[in-house]
Amino acid sequence: MSREPDVLFDVLGPRGRQRTRIATVVVVLVLAALLWLALRQFAVNGQLDGAKWQPFTSPPILRFLLVGLGGTLQATVVSALLAFPLGAALALLRLARSAPLRWPAAAYVELFRALPVLLLIYVFLLVLPQLGVRLPLFWQLVIPIVMSGSASAAEIFRAGVLSLERGQSEAGYSLGLSYWQTMRLIVLPQVLRQLLPVLVSQLITLLKETTLGYVVSFPELLHNGQTLGEYTQTLIQAYLVVALVFVLTNAGLSQLAVGIDRRLGTRGRRAPGSAGSASGQQRPGLQVRLDA
């Protein structure tokens, strides 16, 4: 954070302090009331009974959820390993001088940035089998994620390349390097380092998208949570636990992104637009994907 939000108000005087104290008390009371209402709603419907939460302490069930988390992570990592290099390639193609290279890449990126992943998944689920193509569940989930993820990554890389000083690539050309050599040897290594925090937060998006395994029945965390909830009749508990695990995992990843951003920042050169939050929302040309 570049600036403390405290600039919006003065150091509080006696009256201001008292108002803050009153507001604090009121807020705490309101929060307590809301919490009480929520708990009562759970209690009245018998959802706080020990039996409803018991399953989540038994080792086999925890192991089942862990297997789900493993599936989630596996799908995320494979998606990232495919989507990021593909995105970098698309970005370079889109920035290339020859139009036959530029246009298809641009069309691909713009199209897949505008299509929801679920629609792509339905294409794989419904249309491909009719054409005689049968993919394993894992790939039915991962390929659509990679298709849209690579388009998003392409925009990240493009913004990164464009934000690098032109002198760098000009120096490459003046050494007699070709476009591809300049990109590979001079531009990309620098861009990659600067983009590291954004790519880590992009991992969060990919991880969220793997919950679509729920639709294709790939055993990831949400799907396993559903199976478990329906089997033990503890749907809301199972989904709450699943949500908690997702929040903790992603919070860890975004903490990592903030950490990398800070470390890179102290080394002099700032990542493009890193003055804002490390989530990459404010960076030019970036799109927040919410469809996961």
Partner 1 sequence: MTAYLPELLRGLLVTCELSLVGFAGALVVGSAVAVFRVSPVPPLRAVGALWVGVLRNVPLLVLLVLFVFGLPDVGLRFSLFWTAATCLTLYASAFVCETVRSGIQTVSKGQAEAARAIGLGFAASLRYVILPQAFRVMVQPLGNVFIGVVLGTSLVAAVGVADLTNKTESLDLQYNEPLTTFGLAAAFYVAITLGGGLLFGVLERRLRVSR
Which chain residues interact with partner 1 by CB under 8 A?
1-3, 5, 7-10, 12, 16, 20, 23-24, 27-28, 31, 41-42, 44-45, 47, 111, 113-119, 122-123, 126-127, 130, 204, 207-209, 211-212, 214-215, 222, 226, 235-236, 239-240, 242-243, 246-247, 249-251, 254, 276-277, 279, 281-282, 286-292
Largest CA distance in the chain: 76
Min CB(58)–partner 1 separation in Å? 20
- Shorter beta-carbon distance to partner 1: residue 84 or 246: 246
Measured N-to-C along each axis, helices 59-95 and 235-266 cross at an angle, to the nearest 10 degrees, of: 40
- Shorter beta-carbon distance to partner 1: residue 33 or 247: 247
- Shorter beta-carbon distance to partner 1: residue 190 or 226: 226
Min CB(182)–partner 1 separation in Å? 30
Min CB(188)–partner 1 separation in Å? 25
**Tokens (6 digits) for 179:** 């476009």
- Shorter beta-carbon distance to partner 1: residue 120 or 188: 120
- Shorter beta-carbon distance to partner 1: residue 190 or 287: 287
**CA dist., res. 83 & res. 190, Å (int):** 19
**Tokens (6 digits) for 217:** 């029945």
Min CB(159)–partner 1 separation in Å? 13
- Shorter beta-carbon distance to partner 1: residue 35 or 175: 35
Min CB(253)–partner 1 separation in Å? 8
- Shorter beta-carbon distance to partner 1: residue 76 or 169: 76
Min CB(203)–partner 1 separation in Å? 12
Min CB(7)–partner 1 separation in Å? 5
- Shorter beta-carbon distance to partner 1: residue 20 or 178: 20
Half-sphere exposure of 24 (CA within 13 A, CB side): 6
Min CB(106)–partner 1 separation in Å? 14
**DSSP of the chain, one letter per residue?**
--S-GGGGSPSP-HHHHHHHHHHHHHHHHHHHHHHHHHHHHHHHTTTTSHHHHGGGGSHHHHHHHHHHHHHHHHHHHHHHHHHHHHHHHHHHHHHSS-HHHHHHHHHHHHHHHHS-HHHHHHIIIIIHHHTT----HHHHHHHHHHHHHHHHHHHHHHHHHHHS-HHHHHHHHHTT--HHHHIIIIIHHHHHHHHHHHHHHHHHHHHHHGGGHHHHT--SHHHHHHHHHHHHT-HHHHHHHHHHHHHHHHHHHHHHHHHHHHHHHHTSPPPTTTTS-TTSTTSTT-------
